[in-house]
Structure 1
Amino acid sequence: MRLKTKLAVFSGLLVFVALVIIAFLLLFFEKQFLLKTIKENQKNVSSNFVSVCSESIINEDDLLLVNYLDSLKKDSSIKYAVFLDKKNKIIAHTQTRLVGGFANASVRDENVIETTAPVAIGEKGFGTAKIGFSKLMIEKTVKQSLDLMLNRIIAASVIVFVIGVIISVFFVNMVNKDILQLVNGARAIGAGNLEHRIKITSKDELGELSEEFNEMAEKLKELDMMKNDFVSSITHELRTPLSAIKGYSELLLEEDLNDIIKNYTLTIRDNSVRLGNFINNILDLAKIEAGMVELDKKPGDITKIVQETLDFYKPLFNKKNIVFKSEHSGILHSINVDSDKIRQVLANLIGNAIKFTPEGGEVTIETKTVNNKAEIANSEQFTDYVEISVSDTGIGIPAEQLGKIFDKFYQVRGISAKGTGLGLSIVKGIVEAHSGRIKAISPSRKSGQGSEFIIWLPRQEIN
């Protein structure tokens, strides 16, 4: 789950939990308030009943008491109201049929809350006023009030929740925007783009982190420049003594040497050539990284360039008993490229195919014209491309390593044959300097095994 989703879910849950807690507290305190109000109302009704009883005695007005009892009958929460004399004789009752009888003090109804108050005038007592309130009606009244309030709370909560979610999403997007900038910046810097800078202007922790990232990128850039300068200087310094070693070894080979000395001299020469190629690769890579690739573009026949490179590798094909195929399709006119650089690209790819293909395997080089801008490039500058693919039936490249094989000094893990890790980086640099593109596929589209490298080179510019 992405951080944006986590923050949104967390914010939504936080708002939801807060609303639930607030709703619970509101209902709890509302219930307490209702019960308190009902209790005070019962107390007031009881007090009024006592006052009416006292006034009825003083004025000797039984009708006043009867009328008041009739009004109490209309209150559904009151089950009964009774005025008893000192001997528990019923003087007045909401149920008139019970008047004149005696109250049974031992009978108690669990569904009734009874209030009792003495009726006195001065210090002289005349009896007791009792009112029985229905528990069921009280509970029903409380429930109705709480249900009404709950509905209002739910309606308000939905509105608040929606507003809260909208605010949370806005906040999450604002924070996530800065986090995405950090992530993309870290990816760009990790991919080697040390010129990239993260633009976060906030003064919070994310802003401080972006400043640290930018400072780190600047230091890495300085270190990378120092490293490149050092490597370039060293390789240039090595060229002179290496050329001398190679030259003297070739002079020695022209002499009449015995077999042992001749083998030693051949070893010196071959290794000096190998080291010279490695130094040239480092210098080429330094030029590519500095954007200083020098191209001598001239119209050339791409099929001829491919065939010349294949002819150069024929002895190696024969030595490993590898079948090689060269296929051409489409109308292949001349293409404006640096022929030597393209030969270097093809030589590297074909050399790798031979290296990683077992004896009796197969290497196929296919050349054709294509017109597929959506797949090849994002630029509208070119319309037609020449596609060159080099496929083999070798060990292939693990899928998780395909995205790294063009990185400098990267070597595919799990294989015994190793190189310098510079060849494919140089190949990519040369192809991109021609405004082209290169892609690696494993397994190959043709054989279903091994690997395949596809190059697209622009054939014609739109005027």
Structure 2
Amino acid sequence: MKLRTQFSILVSILILVIMLVLGTVLFVYEKQQILTENRNNQVVLLKNYITVCEESLPMDDDLMIINYSDMLVKTDPVVVYASFIGGDGKILHSRKNSIISFLVGNTDIKQQRTNDIKTQEFVLPAGEKILDIYFPVFKENNVAGFAHIGLNQKEIDKRIADALSRMKNRIFAVTFFAVLTGITGSFLLAFKLTQPINKLVDGARKLGEGKLDTKIKVNTKDEIGLLSKEFNIMAEKLQELDELKNSFVSSVSHELRSPLSYIKGYIELFLEDSEEKLDKKQIEYFGIIRKNITRLTMFVNDVLDVAKIEAKQLIAKTGKQDIAFVIDEITDFAQPGLEEKKINLRKAIAPGLPQVLIDEDKTRHIISNLLNNAIKFCPENGTITIGALVEGSYVKVFVKDTGIGIPKEALNTIFEKFRQAKAEHEKVGKVKGSGLGLTIAKGFVELQGGKIWVESELDKGSTFFFTVLIAK
């Protein structure tokens, strides 16, 4: 799992947990507030009623109490009744006589002088739950009676439930918005934090692919910025070392090529002049020397070609050419190697191929390298197929063999310098090579504006393809 994803998930979970905890705490607090507010509203109702009762007593204004009681019942659905009951339980003023009579006759009313508002619950015959709240009414510091207000418990519960529901919806909306904003912010923050890391990863990958001129642009002044700066310094030093290595290899190769040419020339001259004077064993030894000098010269030339490819010093001298002719010529040269391993060569060249735009020498080198590789890795009595066909604005050339194949993990690196798939196999034995042939082939193909690739299956063979432009 990517660091960005891990960071985003971790922060999102943290935000979610925090918001759930805060939401729960807020809900408990708000619920308590709602219950307290509900209780305070009940107290206000009763106190206002007590005030009306106390004001009406000196004037014996019963109508004031009755009108106020009616007003409470009509304006507030929660209020079932409002009644003024004497200390002896006698109903002094009430519009709900039946309920008050039930209250007085069937409940344990303990009306007593108190400094606190008292509550009691009872159930009417119809099943309606009533919450009765009361408090003494004083006249000249004496208890004149008790003010009772009956509240519908079902309506109270409904109001509390509605208030809690609205509150839950608000808390949910706020929590959802906060979580959504937090998660979005965490993803943006993770992207911002990991973007420089991704640049470093991409730079390291390019560096591993041999692109030593890679530079990472990170402008932050944190640890990632410092790491990027050190990475760029490392890349510069690697590039300097690579250039030094290439310069050394090129110099050594140049220095080797001339002496090798001289040695080969003198041996050939010596053999021409002295062949009759040498016995078979001596001729065989000189032949081995000449063969290995040729092989070493080819290796030196390959090293120089790779150095030129990497330095981009090669120039393609392209011209119109018949690719079928070039293929035929190369296969004729390869005939001794094919016959030595008893390999069957097939040609699959499409008829009427158009002329192509190629550097003839370099294209010969490409086909020769691919064909020689196929011969090396193909067992005795195997089959090699070489062909060409038109594909869009290109001619596609391919070399297919029934050899040992290339492991899947090696397909991405097969064209790199000194890279060779395992050549140890009971069918072909131990195969030696410089590991530069495919690198040179790739460089020459791309120099001519084409591309090269391989398809292979282990123990079933490989097919190398490359394209060349059709001449206009």
Scaled by the length of structure 2, what TM-score is found? Answer: 0.80
Q: Give the one of 414, 419, 430 matched to 1:410.
A: 419
Q: CA deviation at 1:290?
A: 0.4
The answer on 1:441 being equivalent to 2:445 is no
Q: CA deviation at 1:72?
A: 3.3
CA distance in structure 2 between the partners assigned to 1:99 and 1:364 by the alignment: 114
Give the aligned partner of residue 104 of structure 1.
Answer: 108
CA distance in structure 2 between the partners assigned to 1:248 and 1:81 by the alignment: 134
4-13 or 91-100, which moves further after superposition? Answer: 4-13
1:387 is aligned with what amino acid? K
Give the aligned partner of residue 378 of structure 1.
Answer: none
Are the equivalent residues in 1 in contact too, given 2:264–2:294 (CA < 8 A)?
yes
Q: CA deviation at 1:455?
A: 1.8
Q: CA deviation at 1:48?
A: 2.3
Change (3 A) 1:47 1:239: same
1:200 is aligned with what amino acid? V
Paired residue total: 446
1:410 is aligned with what amino acid? R
Give the aligned partner of residue 148 of structure 1.
Answer: 166
- Aligned identity (percent) is 38
Matches within 5 A, 1:36-435: 36-74=36-74, 75-93=76-94, 95-97=96-98, 98=100, 104-105=108-109, 108-109=121-122, 112-152=130-170, 178=196, 180-239=198-257, 242-243=260-261, 246=264, 254=274, 256-257=277-278, 263-332=284-353, 334-370=355-391, 372=392, 384-413=393-422, 415-416=424-425, 417-435=431-449
Are the equivalent residues in 2 in contact too, given 1:299–1:334 (CA < 8 A)?
yes
Where does structure 2 lack aligned partners over 5 or more consecutive residues? Answer: 111-119, 124-128, 426-430
Q: Superposition RMSD on alpha carbons, in Å?
A: 3.7
The answer on 1:451 being equivalent to 2:452 is no
Secondary structure of 2:58 counterpart = helix
CA distance in structure 1 between the partners assigned to 2:314 and 2:466 by the alignment: 18
CA distance in structure 1 between the partners assigned to 2:186 and 2:471 by the alignment: 53
213-222 or 176-185, which moves further after superposition? Answer: 176-185
1:425 is aligned with what amino acid? T
Are the equivalent residues in 2 in contact too, given 1:330–1:369 (CA < 8 A)?
no
CA distance in structure 2 between the partners assigned to 1:353 and 1:414 by the alignment: 12
Are the equivalent residues in 2 in contact too, given 1:411–1:418 (CA < 8 A)?
no
CA distance in structure 1 between the partners assigned to 2:402 and 2:58 by the alignment: 121
CA distance in structure 2 between the partners assigned to 1:129 and 1:257 by the alignment: 144
Are the equivalent residues in 2 in contact too, given 1:441–1:452 (CA < 8 A)?
yes
Are the equivalent residues in 2 in contact too, given 1:239–1:276 (CA < 8 A)?
yes
330-339 or 223-232, which moves further after superposition? Answer: 330-339
CA distance in structure 2 between the partners assigned to 1:10 and 1:95 by the alignment: 63
CA distance in structure 2 between the partners assigned to 1:205 and 1:80 by the alignment: 75
Deviations 1:101-132 (A, max 9, x none): 55633885385544342333454233433444
2:337 is aligned with what amino acid? L
Deviations 1:333-363 (A, max 9, x none): 5545333222221111001111111112111
Deviations 1:59-91 (A, max 9, x none): 333333333332333333234544443334443
CA distance in structure 2 between the partners assigned to 1:9 and 1:425 by the alignment: 44
Are the equivalent residues in 2 in contact too, given 1:73–1:94 (CA < 8 A)?
no
